[in-house]
Structure 1
Amino acid sequence: MWCRLERRSACLTLTDFSPAMCGRLRSVPDARVVRCDAARLPLGAASFGTVVANHMLYHLDDPDAALAEFARVLRRCAGRSAGCQRRSSRRGYGWMVASGSGSTRC
């Protein structure tokens, strides 16, 4: 999808904890890749218009900490989306709806 967008008005930052996955992500044209822990993002507060956490929260030791970090780096009224594989993984997603437009797909 990123390859089809007009990039003059968009920036893409991809993050992952795995060095191997970060290596693969570096093949995405014009994307910034940051190796980091989702619970401790080395990114500025209110610096992103959208955060997408797709099928990853259930891999974390502390998904609530990651959700707090996502909220911290999002600008007010920003977009947010998280995908998970099962309804029991929805725990903690209330911030997405309570803080503005967002979607959780399970």
Structure 2
Amino acid sequence: RSSLNEKGFLVDPKNGREYDLSDAKVVASCSLEDPVISDNLEEGLAKGTIISAVWIGDHYQYLIRTEGEEDFLANSPYQWNVGDIVSVDIAKEKIKLRLKKDIGAYVVE
């Protein structure tokens, strides 16, 4: 299991290699069922406008865009309208992070 050292570098326990991830760009993802959509704009981690709504038989699938142009795709049994401003909340343990670049780009020499 990797860990951070006193310099803040990620250390690979298999080979002792250090990685500096301080400026790393990541992609965050989760299951489509994990985001919770609400009309209470204060309770979510982000707020945005519903720009697409599709009925998929037993639930809706929404595309929500924030002012910063970040997109959230979420399933919900509840009906919202295109143009509605909503909050989106995702439990932190449900979020998976992946580096945009290969880990080799962050090796400390």
Q: Give the TM bin, normalised by the shorter chain.
A: under 0.3
Q: Which has the higher strand share?
A: 2
TM-score of the superposed pair, with normalisation by structure 1? 0.20
Structure possessing the higher relative contact order (Cα contacts under 8 Å, 6 or more residues apart): 2
Higher alpha-carbon Rg: 2
